Structure 1
Amino acid sequence: MSRDPVLIWGAGAIGGILGAYWARAGVPVMMADIDADHAVACSTEGVLIEGPVEGFRQIVNCVTPDAVEGRYRCVVLAVKAQATEDAMRMLLPHLAEDGFVLSAQNGLNERLIAEMAGRERVMGAFVNYGSDWQAPGRILFGNRGAVVVGEIDGAVRPRTREMHRLLQIFEPDAVLTEEIWSYLWGKLGYGAMLFATALTPDSMSANFADPARVPALIALGREVMAVARAEGVKPRGFNGFDPSAFAPGAPDQAAWQSIAALADFTSKTAKTHSGIWRDLAVRRRRTEVDPQIGVITEIAASHAIEVPLLSRLVALIHDIEEGRRPQSAETFAELTSVLSAEQAS
């Protein structure tokens, strides 16, 4: 598969970096992106990867979605979670009958992709490297992070091993797993905390290091872990996040230690704020809160599990998106107040 052309649908912070590394290694790559200026820049001047990890410029073929031609055995989907359905409709005509879609996204998008393409045509991935789209043709690579790939049914097939080898071109420590759902649910626990950090103008590390905010962050992690447990999934950890520290019955000390590890990990990156924060503060657009966090509240309801902090978090992010609240310490305090009310009752 490494000699077959790869189609990357979404050439931003995740897809653009993968495309640049693969193209540099001689892998035939075609990228598709809705930003026409970005597509032109990648194809002509090349995409500039900059930051402390590595800096280079690489020409990568890139077109807008309407200009994609042909069919591909490997399609890497790297769009925002809320764009998954529309992107799938556009890319399906370009997916070979024996091909698959690798979801290089945040959330549980593999479920929707399976509904639209068929379960046998989906492969899951987990990515935690720090990157930001800066401008057409420019992407910041802030820090390395975990990269994991696996089939959604837990099998390991020749195509899974080939995809793993392809990802190792970008991240030599990429992991091949039979438990991709465990990693995806682990990322959801961490992701809920990242959404909370975006309630403020402060950096990720500043939020994780603030003792006044840690209890709410811990409570969010615990709510996600409770839902994962009800789903029969044992989340896996990465880069300082230890899901077992937030499992039902785990001691407070373990959770505080995991938060401290996250404060340390996020303090060592040029990407100081989350992509969620950038969506709100810089790009002024909607976040992935509904397909990432909202979906957890829906799954929780199906198990009759109450998740008051997750529900409040979704509402607060929507308030910021729609201009009803600022990103501020006071907005984060609204989340903490839910925890205080719970403890008082």
Structure 2
Amino acid sequence: MSNTGNPKIAFVGTGAQGASIGADFALAGHDVTFIEQWPAHVEAIRANGITVNLPARTINAKVPALHFCQVAEIKEKFDLIFLIVKAYDTKWVTQMVEPVLAEDGFVIGLQNGMTHLDIASVVGQERTIGAVIEIASNMFVPGITNRQNDQDESWFALGAIDREQQHRVEGVAKLLRCAGRVEVTDDIKSCKWMKLVVNAAELVPSAILDLPLADAARFPGFLEVMRQAGYEAMRAALLDGAMIVPIIGMPPVTTNDPEGYVDRIFDEVLKTFSRADTLTTSLQDWRKGRRAEVQEVNGHVIDVLRAAGQDAPINSRVVELAYEIERGLLSAGLDNAAPLIASLGPGR
């Protein structure tokens, strides 16, 4: 980075996750700018700062905020750009900010899905850091985000795409530790896959029932649906060359039990990173009238398995129902549990 003493940092996409992490950076004294596509949110931050409601405290940070349309007006380039937009928006948003990224800077994708590949296709592998994030949060009012995990419960992993840049990742991790626990990994691909595995099990399946994550996991017969979606995702991960690696602060893997490890990740997310009222990002999207990251998570599992000549019956049914909901042909609700449970087949 050209300015290692006080790098110039942008948070692009300052919704529930990006705003709360960016607020931590601002309060830690870093040079931070928000770049956001929701006009009312930008104006609220300009007027009142960004407010973050945490489980036991509330913080407020004053942060410069720009509309997406103002990116072309930026004169000084950023050393670090944290990207926290929806996975399906990754490529075009990266193209938008590439002109304001320093030549030796990094884009860090704090997102679901395999978005590090989209980022690298635009700015190059040498300027891409892959990331995994585990925080529960929501936002429904401009200028105010609700983060359900404080810094001691928030977890990140970072890793370079270009191995020649791996030695620089710790410097970024040191900055990010103002927002939570950060691990540096030399196998970010596997970490991203492990997160996708648990996302496939949780995000869209629970949203299809229109339930908080914990309630969906307790719904009779549905936990097995969620686990089987995760098992299919784990098969896809291994076929794609990923290793079973610990994430979200879990202990090292000691046995070769892919399905057992899916269960362990799932249980840890339910225990540590969710509350009774935690809505997955997919359900939040639908309640806001937006599409969810269906293709980027469950659809990716289907594509990888299909390329290997294998089926993904649970993820395929999840995607089918999700698209019907997004087209307005079906409503999210408990009635959708039966067809998903039926997809398990006899004996399940």
Q: TM-score, normalised by structure 2?
A: 0.89
Query: Take 1:119 and 1:99, find their aligned partners in 2: how far apart are those partners?
Result: 11
The share of aligned pairs that are identical, in percent, is 25
Asked if structure 1 preserves the Cα contact closer than 8 Å seen for 2:16 and 2:137, the reply is yes
Query: Take 1:200 and 1:221, find their aligned partners in 2: how far apart are those partners?
Result: 17
Q: Does 1:289 align with 2:297?
A: no
Cα distance change of structure 1 residues 37 and 128 upon mapping to structure 2, 3 Å threshold: same
Amino acid paired to 2:6 = R
Instruction: Give the match for residue 244 of structure 2.
Output: 235
The farther-off stretch of 154-163 and 318-327 is 154-163
Q: What are the equivalent positions in structure 2 for 1:151-162 lying under 5 Å apart?
A: 151-154=160-163, 157-162=166-171
Query: Take 1:201 and 1:110, find their aligned partners in 2: how far apart are those partners?
Result: 30
Q: Does 1:11 align with 2:14?
A: yes
Shift of 1:236: 2.9
Post-superposition Cα deviations, 1:64-116, rounded to whole Å, max 9, x if no partner, equal 12213032121111100111122112111111222221011110011111112
Asked if structure 2 preserves the Cα contact closer than 8 Å seen for 1:23 and 1:58, the reply is yes
SS in 1 for 2:104: strand
Instruction: Give the match for residue 330 of structure 2.
Output: 325
Q: Does 1:176 align with 2:184?
A: yes
Q: Which of residues 321, 328, 332 in structure 2 aligns to 1:316?
A: 321
Cα distance change of structure 1 residues 189 and 95 upon mapping to structure 2, 3 Å threshold: same
Amino acid paired to 1:37 = A
Instruction: Give the match for residue 275 of structure 1.
Output: 281
Shift of 1:260: 4.7
Asked if structure 2 preserves the Cα contact closer than 8 Å seen for 1:81 and 1:292, the reply is no
Instruction: Give the match for residue 81 of structure 2.
Output: 75
Q: Does 1:103 align with 2:109?
A: yes
Instruction: Give the match for residue 189 of structure 1.
Output: 197
Post-superposition Cα deviations, 1:295-325, rounded to whole Å, max 9, x if no partner, equal 2221222222211111111111111112211
Cα distance change of structure 1 residues 243 and 277 upon mapping to structure 2, 3 Å threshold: farther
Amino acid paired to 1:63 = L
Q: Which of residues 303, 310, 313 in structure 2 aligns to 1:305?
A: 310
Q: Does 1:146 align with 2:158?
A: no
SS in 2 for 1:44: helix
Q: Which of residues 194, 197, 221 in structure 2 aligns to 1:212?
A: 221
Query: Take 2:40 and 2:262, find their aligned partners in 1: how far apart are those partners?
Result: 44
Instruction: Give the match for residue 88 of structure 1.
Output: 94
Post-superposition Cα deviations, 1:233-274, rounded to whole Å, max 9, x if no partner, equal 1133445989979977756xx76666555443355x375211
Q: What are the equivalent positions in structure 2 for 1:51-66 lying under 5 Å apart?
A: 51-66=54-69
Q: Which of residues 231, 248, 264 in structure 1 aligns to 2:271?
A: 264
Query: Take 2:285 and 2:185, find their aligned partners in 1: how far apart are those partners?
Result: 31
Post-superposition Cα deviations, 1:12-44, rounded to whole Å, max 9, x if no partner, equal 112111211111111001111011221122223
Asked if structure 1 preserves the Cα contact closer than 8 Å seen for 2:36 and 2:66, the reply is yes
Count of matched residue positions in the alignment of Structure 1 and Structure 2 = 338
Cα distance change of structure 1 residues 110 and 250 upon mapping to structure 2, 3 Å threshold: closer
Amino acid paired to 1:188 = L
Query: Take 1:240 and 1:27, find their aligned partners in 2: how far apart are those partners?
Result: 26
Cα distance change of structure 1 residues 35 and 112 upon mapping to structure 2, 3 Å threshold: same
Cα distance change of structure 1 residues 324 and 40 upon mapping to structure 2, 3 Å threshold: same
Cα distance change of structure 1 residues 167 and 271 upon mapping to structure 2, 3 Å threshold: farther
Amino acid paired to 2:134 = N
Asked if structure 2 preserves the Cα contact closer than 8 Å seen for 1:276 and 1:288, the reply is yes
Asked if structure 1 preserves the Cα contact closer than 8 Å seen for 2:231 and 2:262, the reply is no
Asked if structure 2 preserves the Cα contact closer than 8 Å seen for 1:52 and 1:270, the reply is no
Amino acid paired to 1:168 = R
Q: Which of residues 317, 332, 343 in structure 2 aligns to 1:338?
A: 343
Asked if structure 1 preserves the Cα contact closer than 8 Å seen for 2:201 and 2:228, the reply is no
Asked if structure 1 preserves the Cα contact closer than 8 Å seen for 2:213 and 2:280, the reply is yes
Cα distance change of structure 1 residues 270 and 10 upon mapping to structure 2, 3 Å threshold: farther
Q: What 5-or-longer segments of structure 2 have no aligned partner?
A: none
Instruction: Give the match for residue 34 of structure 1.
Output: 37
Q: TM-score, normalised by structure 1?
A: 0.90
Query: Take 1:210 and 1:186, find their aligned partners in 2: how far apart are those partners?
Result: 24
Asked if structure 1 preserves the Cα contact closer than 8 Å seen for 2:155 and 2:249, the reply is no
Asked if structure 1 preserves the Cα contact closer than 8 Å seen for 2:208 and 2:336, the reply is yes
